[in-house]
Structure 1
């Protein structure tokens, strides 16, 4: 077969698309086949097209849906993105985890094409067939809107020995990165399509993760990055320098690294004495690196073993605190933060509610940061835990979760909604109700359907006065707009109208729901109109920016899920907007008596 002359120009790609069973509106499978008129099938590719990016951002369910699909897509999603499908900041911020630095926040937008499987018939390997099909896929319309392609170069056969497996992995990685010209002998086949005259397949590593990405934009920095400048993963680097390291069983690891095992399994105060005893026998034992390059300090951090960590930090851990030359490529603090983040995302994805970081994790984080001399949210351990409990990174979150920028977003939205509702107040006639559909205001959709049918003026005024109450609370430093606080503030503003609203079945929670949900919709997780209006340079902001950009940034700036829980919108409850009668009478207490007022 190899002696048969193969003209790639005679090959044609065939594409078939199959909608995803569970999420047909967001994902579909792309099957690509490279066919030759006489030789038949030469290569195949199976990809997952991920579109409707805005839906993932608005629902915050990217990690959940990827986890449901497969373990591979779970690893892909958590390795590169957050729950809103935004690229992990440390992969693109120019820091040590961003690798070559060729990728940026462009990976947070647009469609995704994940290459799950790529095969070339054995008789036609190393003849340009694979690169031909890959380029056909990458230059097709299946890349989608502002799309990027991704792959995880890894052998399918896990039974090979370490050296052979790594060699095959390197070959697969080289294929996605490689230069095409020497392989295709392009000068001898001038009839090739223009897109195949590209100098390389063009995939480059995202940060230091196992995943490579491709940009269809010719001027993208990834295309000017030399192959030799594209870094390997910490795991590959570690394995390549430890090829002779044995694959130990769990029992063998416990035997060879008893202190590591003790720290991993004993979280009681007695572990401290075990560490001191080991140090007395062999002072180097507290610095020993196991088969994966991890020190006892790594193990204590990864397992959130506070008692072990306190004792270990009594010794000189200057080098251990900085040590990242291990299989994970992480310092003890980075390993702890990865573990805490994974637990948070697991709870949000599979349980639906995250109740904050564990006390043990926060204590360990405090101890490690203090030992490293890093900036702290608080100098006292208890105060630090209180501020960090719900993910605050700015030190200014009210309740540990309501950041200054989030407060600004909610305030702007509550005031905007109240002002817009006031403008329609003149539409009412005395003792004549209007329906929500006649008032054309989106915030009214957050009222249960029975309440939307007949809205009297007093009810309407009470409704928008609740927005005023929210605004008053948000303008009070460190105040949190709980239902009771908002109710009190609104009754103080207009007791008659608010009492009427509440008496006819209205709830403060409906207005809080509208405020939070519409804020999210207008944020960068939705249409982005809030940032377009307020996140502007000081010289440009005038009356509109109002200093938003000057506010300190925080990890909680877009944590709308945490805000919902914080303001009393219980998880598991069907909140608005309500567009149909489906939800009518389902757990909603709405008065049946005459709803007219005296206006």
Structure 2
């Protein structure tokens, strides 16, 4: 029987698991003198991540030893509960381990959901075996598997992976998926590898990938990560090893090497627009169409149009005037991206996350849309000239539904804010109180959480003024109606509607500095509290059918972004003062 190392305060797990519940492996080659032992919680010499700092991330490890306590190998992973960190996913994933951070940033959006490209993009979806199902439940990220050289080829690596999965499942039945990225360790201080070293590294990487496929893992989309599903009916289970997606190896240099006529130097890839345009004019003006220069690619498979597609509109316009433009704009790089997709992917990457001193920080709330150069490049790549304003704004703000109000309030976002405006209106109206001081005090106490953004001087007058309380209350009704009509709820729209409907209460509220932003921000706060990713999920629980009937969009849950753009649209200049309820609308004097 296998040895149980009692002195280590660890326990051996059952080595046999039903095939449908574990990564595929055979334990027949497991010799009797080898033990698989699993670390107990808090037992390792290392700091376990179930400490208070990372309660959502559990450190799971197994070790194989001989009966003489000689280590055979070890396997380590992290059991990640994304549901607990969706509100600050990137920043939380940055904590436990560098591998955890890389996994989170590369594979998931800022709410911990698999990036759409990995199951919707024609190339990046890979075999198409993975999709939204991976967004639910906990996931085991396996970060290392090591077997000493003299013990290799005997099945110990497979068995340790099996036991690691067994431990994760025993810890939480919500663990439905595992993931790993096959890699070859290399010291960071070593010089760039030679071609021979590169070829050997690629061969070793191929062996590592075949190991994970043999254990039952299959590549997730076109990413470098492999996944394993608990469900036997999952599409990856029926995917043969030979049919799994093969990710292209990185090119080791330009496709074309010719007496420095077309070198992919750092000068070209980092050149600003005017500089690159000069290079292109010097080298491409008279080049024949069958010249190898037109198929030249850099180490990432990018051609010259990919390079120009990122913030170089003048260079891009020059390339589109050439006869080879169609070939250049339809070519795909190693990630499977055309120049247009490459440009949009670069924008999306900077929109989602920014890194500072190797720390991952969420950036979505600070997104101000495409820069002028990015916008011009995307329009050119989409063959759009003189776009109408609404289309231009939708492209600028990353709208993917073609229905966003002012380019950034998506149908689902508008419905969430409209619903909250209606609910808040009903709550405030039922407690408006009479025009006496006692009723005002009661109204303020009951609705304090809806009054955060009321300017301080006006807030004091709400206690004694029934008219102002009614004005604030009815402003929510106007917001509800405007969003229902797919109109932007601006200061002037609300003021004009109050004038037409002879709503003297709301008109007085606006005239005395109440502002519409105080109403919008209150709706946003309440929507965030009930959002399925940022809050308790109660909104979707109640109105899921309505939400599902609306067209999805990239901007659906970007409440911070919508708030920021509302401020810019309405020319509200001091974000800090908004937090304190002291904002000033720059158009107030026009009312």
Cα 1:420–1:55 change in 2 (3 A) is: farther
How many residues are matched? 521
Q: Deviations over 1:305-336 (max 9, x none)?
A: 21221111122333322222x43332222221
Deviation at 1:153, TM superposition (A): 0.7
The answer for the alignment partner of 2:375 in structure 1 is: 362
- In structure 2, runs of 5+ residues without a counterpart are 1-28, 43-47, 355-360, 584-591
Farther off after superposition, 391-400 or 11-20? 11-20
Partner residue of 2:262 out of 257, 276, 286: 257
- In structure 1, runs of 5+ residues without a counterpart are 179-200, 240-244, 371-377, 537-544, 577-586, 591-599
Farther off after superposition, 338-347 or 96-105? 338-347
The answer for the alignment partner of 2:210 in structure 1 is: 174
The answer for the alignment partner of 2:23 in structure 1 is: none
Deviation at 1:213, TM superposition (A): 1.6
- After superposition, residues 125-274 of structure 1 pair within 5 angstroms as 125-140=152-167, 141-142=170-171, 145-157=174-186, 161-178=197-214, 201-234=215-248, 236=249, 245=252, 255=260, 257-258=262-263, 263-264=268-269, 265-268=271-274, 271=277, 274=280
Farther off after superposition, 12-21 or 556-565? 12-21
Deviation at 1:231, TM superposition (A): 0.8
The answer for the alignment partner of 2:476 in structure 1 is: 467
CA distance in 1, matches of 2:247, 2:408: 34
Farther off after superposition, 285-294 or 221-230? 285-294
Deviation at 1:30, TM superposition (A): 3.1
The answer for the alignment partner of 1:353 in structure 2 is: 366
Partner residue of 1:309 out of 287, 305, 316: 316
3-state SS, counterpart of residue 101 of structure 1:
coil
The answer for the alignment partner of 2:330 in structure 1 is: 322
**Does residue 76 of structure 2 align to residue 46 of structure 1?**
yes
The answer for the alignment partner of 2:553 in structure 1 is: 554
Deviation at 1:531, TM superposition (A): 3.9
3-state SS, counterpart of residue 75 of structure 2:
strand
Moved over 6 A (4+): 259-262, 426-430, 444-452, 454-457, 490-493, 500-503, 569-572
The answer for the alignment partner of 2:16 in structure 1 is: none
Cα 1:368–1:8 change in 2 (3 A) is: farther
Deviation at 1:70, TM superposition (A): 5.6
Farther off after superposition, 10-19 or 402-411? 10-19
Deviation at 1:416, TM superposition (A): 2.0
CA distance in 2, matches of 1:357, 1:100: 32
TM-score by length of 2: 0.75
Cα 1:148–1:55 change in 2 (3 A) is: same
CA distance in 2, matches of 1:173, 1:447: 59
**Does residue 586 of structure 2 align to residue 565 of structure 1?**
no
Deviation at 1:469, TM superposition (A): 3.1
The answer for the alignment partner of 2:103 in structure 1 is: 76
TM-score by length of 1: 0.74
3-state SS, counterpart of residue 155 of structure 1:
coil
- After superposition, residues 504-523 of structure 1 pair within 5 angstroms as 508-523=516-531
Farther off after superposition, 353-362 or 110-119? 110-119
Farther off after superposition, 65-74 or 79-88? 65-74
The answer for the alignment partner of 1:194 in structure 2 is: none
Cα 1:271–1:259 change in 2 (3 A) is: farther
TM-align CA RMSD = 4.1
Deviation at 1:460, TM superposition (A): 5.5
Deviation at 1:88, TM superposition (A): 1.0
The answer for the alignment partner of 2:488 in structure 1 is: 480
Task: Work out whether residues 124 and 335 of structure 2, in 8 Å CA contact, stay in contact via their aligned partners in 1.
Answer: no
Task: Work out whether residues 108 and 114 of structure 2, in 8 Å CA contact, stay in contact via their aligned partners in 1.
Answer: yes
Task: Work out whether residues 565 and 571 of structure 1, in 8 Å CA contact, stay in contact via their aligned partners in 2.
Answer: no
